[in-house]
Structure 1
Amino acid sequence: MYPVSRLAAVHEATAKGGLDALLLTPGPDLRYVSGYDAKPLERLTCLVVPASGEPFMMVPRLEVPAAQASPAARLGLEFVAWDETDDPYAVVAARLGRVAKVGLADRMWAMASLRFREVLPGAEQVLAGSVLRELRMRKSPAEVAALREAGRAIDSVHRQVPEFLRAGRTEREVGRDIAEAILASGHATVDFVIVASGPNAASPHHDVSDRVIEAGEPVVVDIGGQLHNGYCSDSTRTYSVGEPPADFAAYYEVLRRAQDTACAAVRPGVPCESIDAAARDLIAGAGYGDAFVHRTGHGIGIETHEEPYIVAGNGEAMEPGFAFSVEPGIYLQGRHGARIEDIVVCTENGGERLNTTPRDLVIV
């Protein structure tokens, strides 16, 4: 999943992007380029990718065994071990020499970015994402396969959710069962579990609470995690514990049609914002425009949220390999809400949904 060719592509993109070097500390950017899921510590770990010259990895001496056990060891990198009395930032600066512009990992801690500013005082600092985004957005066939595997795994959990949902249980109790099922499905980690019942379903990023689920209530279940291959899952389905209110059933049908319409609009060349409009226009036309309060989707890969974003104002054209969520929602404050979410990959001919569980309202 982390071929040498990826590092070579990043090396080339650094030069083409007008940067003298990329400085990647622990986080998604480092993991994407090297495969090393390094611990974020006060001690500096940093992959240095100069525009000219060979990449190298600064590693605290006590972390060298972990780095050598990671996929980064297969990339032919030089590991530069530093001791507790060394200044690793000064070592990086000395090896780079005079630089005018460097890209910092998007999630770099402020303490590291400020230290790099001290040791490279003449260098403009920009986000590494300015060059990495073009690579990370376009998923390779192997990455799409990894996301497809993640989709199957989280689908298997949604198929179990009706066993966990019943009146009299709390959101937290249901969430605990779901979290265990996520791990049992093959995920390495549980990234989030949203179990939002009744009025809590009108809060898109509700978590879980001690609220008792009552009969006749809609429940939004949004779940995801990361597989051992490093790629993420994310899928939302809406359930009802018994027959839901009549007004909820009416707007749920609007939502289902909107999500279908947006997924059907995916194809190469269409602007990202047009996918958002496909869902939003239908929801607004039914009178629920003010109740759809977030973008239609976000990219997904080694992070749950990454580019491209499916939102008004993003005119970037869809390309094969773009992977993202399509998740419109309708939220009536103080009453209830609903969301339907699938991960979709843009293909040469249209879009492929990576989640296949039914999208009709599930009554349990």
Structure 2
Amino acid sequence: MRLKKLAATLKKKGPLPYLITDLVNIRYLTGFTGTYAYLVVDRDRSYFISDTRYEEYARSILPKSVEFVLQKNEFLESLKTILKKAGIRELFLEEHATPLSVYRSMKKGLRGVKLSPGGDVVNEIRMIKHPDEIEILRQAAAKTDACVRHLKGIIRPGVSEWDIAVEIEHFYRKNGCRKSSFDSIIASGPGSSMPHYATSLTKKIMKGEVILIDMGCEYSGYNSDLTRTMFVHSIDPALERIYRVVRAAQEAAVRAVRPGITTGELDAVARDSITGAGYGDRFGHGLGHGIGMEVHEMPAVKKGDLKLMKNMVITIEPGVYLPGIGGVRIEDMVAVTAAGCEVLTKSSKDITVIG
């Protein structure tokens, strides 16, 4: 079904036949979860290239419209066979994913075949989720909400950041997830002022500190992503103020989500709110990103003119970061609906003091 949709889209836009090298896009189109494959999509037939490690598996899952081509030696030899068989004289390439080494090899070895840029059509299709995909994302978000509740009984002074990260991984795997979507960010104290802080192996949580936790799981091939900021034992007044500023901005942006609003307009809702409170220079990153089979995928929710559409799923994650003091970020996953949005992550955003 997805391959037919892609072929129909490509017929309209022109880039056919199309070579797909991105393994996530190949998984989206065929269900293949291995680590080595190429896919050539043509008007009425597609060709799947892989090696002996995946031959039996691939043949068992590929639809009838996809021909399995066993790579015995080099990828280029298999590709030449396909191009000759199909009479292909021009091949369009995924712009974001085709490795330079592969491009150079094709440029040198495919004489008489024109290589042309084909955009990122599959990524664009993936922006709009099927209701079944949204349901899986809803379940992944629920797993992460459950993990947040679990962590509130674990976090206390003396526990290390790494202990918390390990607990997250253990919880996810024990509760039916394949793994964490990414290395969890457990940023306590002044470290929380770094948006992509590297969780420490040794840093212990102390009384009076802020703790910023950015986490997510991979569940049934899809990802969740959530950030909550909590306080241990007591709250620094400066951080309490920025917490209220960030929460107000985040909730204003969530309320603004609807089909037709541009990513730039949505970003401005949160950014203007934070700027109005006097912290505009401490919010440096974009407001959010698309999420699905990858944690970060299209659309990027930042300055731009791309319009949100029904069934897109994005994150909304403004933050304010004060070097030497700490930072606050609040992140939710939201699905765009016909009238607004559904917030998929349900964890409380009330000020939380634990330990």
TM bracket, shorter-chain basis: over 0.9
CA distance in structure 2 between the partners assigned to 1:346 and 1:172 by the alignment = 35
Query: In structure 2, which of residues 178, 200, 211 is the aligned counterpart of residue 219 of structure 1?
Result: 211
Matched residues in 2 for 1:152 and 1:76: separation? 36
Q: Does 1:186 align with 2:176?
A: yes
2:331 is the counterpart of 1:335: no
| Greater Cα offset, 261-270 or 89-98 | 89-98
Aligned to 1:135, which of 117, 125, 134?
125
Asked if the contact 1:93/1:120 (under 8 Å) is kept, the reply is: no
Farther-moved stretch of structure 1 (293-302 vs 83-92): 83-92
Counterpart for residue 9 of structure 1: 5
| CA deviation profile, 1:113-171 (whole Å, cap 9, x unmatched) | 32222334542332551x22331111111111111111111111111111221111211
In the other structure, the counterpart of 2:25 is 29
Deviations 1:42-75 (A, max 9, x none): xxx211101x341121121332023134xx4245
**Matched residues in 2 for 1:30 and 1:180: separation?**
29
Aligned partner of 2:39 in structure 1 is 47
1:321 aligns with 2:334: no
Structure 1 SS opposite 2:222: coil
What SS class does the counterpart of residue 343 from structure 1 fall into? strand
Tell me the alpha carbon deviations over residues 6-27 of structure 1, each in whole angstroms, 9 at most, x when there is no partner. Answer: 1101111122222122212352
Give the whole-Å Cα distance in 2 for the aligned partners of 1:345 and 1:30. Answer: 24
Which of structure 1's runs of 4+ aligned residues deviate more than 6 A?
none
Matches of 1:268 and 1:85, distance apart in 2? 46
Instruction: Identify which of 88, 95, 112 aligns with 2:85.
Output: 95
1:355 equivalent in structure 2: 345
**Preserved CA contact (<8 Å) 2:17 2:88:** no
Which residue does 2:56 correspond to in 1?
Answer: 65
- Work out the CA distance in 2 between the residues paired with 1:8 and 1:59: 21
RMSD of aligned alpha carbons: 1.8
Q: C-alpha distance in 1, partners of 2:118/2:146?
A: 37
Q: Is the 8 A contact 1:104 1:113 kept in 2?
A: no
Residue 284 of structure 1: aligned partner? 275
Q: Is the 8 A contact 2:70 2:78 kept in 1?
A: no
1:38 to 34, 38, 58: 34
Distance 1:333 1:185 in 2: 36
Unaligned residue ranges in structure 1 (runs of 5+): none
Q: Structure 2 counterpart of 1:190, which letter?
A: S
CA 1:30–1:201: 2 relative to 1, 3 Å: same
Q: CA deviation at 1:326?
A: 0.2
Paired letter, 1:327: E
What is the Cα deviation at residue 104 of structure 1?
A: 2.5
Aligned length: 350
What letter is aligned with 1:218? V
Cα distance, 1:219–1:55 mapped onto 2, change above 3 Å: same
CA distance in 2, matches of 1:75, 1:323: 31
Deviates more, 1:165-174 or 1:104-113: 104-113
Find the aligned partners of 2:99 and 2:131 in 1 and give their Cα distance: 32
Cα distance change, pair 353–85 in 1 and its aligned pair in 2 (3 A): closer
Give the letter for the 1:84 counterpart: N
1:89–1:115: 8 Å Cα contact kept in structure 2?
no
CA distance 1:98–1:68, change in 2 (3 Å)? closer
**Mapped contact 1:28–1:302 kept (Cα < 8 A):** yes
Residue of 83, 88, 94 corresponding to 2:72: 83
Q: Report the CA distance between 1:96 and its aligned residue.
A: 4.3
In structure 2, what is the equivalent of residue 165 of structure 1?
155
**C-alpha distance in 2 between matches for 1:225 and 1:110:** 31
State the distance in 1 between where 2:164 and 2:133 align.
31
Please state whether the residue corresponding to 2:152 is helix, strand or coil.
Answer: helix
Partner of 2:178: helix, strand, or coil?
A: strand
Q: CA, structure 1 residues 75+302, in 2 after alignment: closer, same or farther (shift >3 Å)?
A: farther
Tell me, in whole angstroms, the C-alpha distance in 1 between the residues paired with 2:9 and 2:259.
Answer: 23
- The percentage of aligned residue pairs carrying the same residue is 31
Which segments of 5 or more consecutive residues in structure 2 lack a partner in the other structure? none
What's the CA shift for 1:184?
2.1
Whether 2:262 is the aligned partner of 1:266: answer: no
Matches within 5 A, 1:210-249: 210-227=202-219, 229-249=220-240
C-alpha separation between the residues in 1 aligned to 2:342 and 2:175? 22
Shift in CA distance, 256/119, structure 1 to aligned 2, threshold 3 Å? same
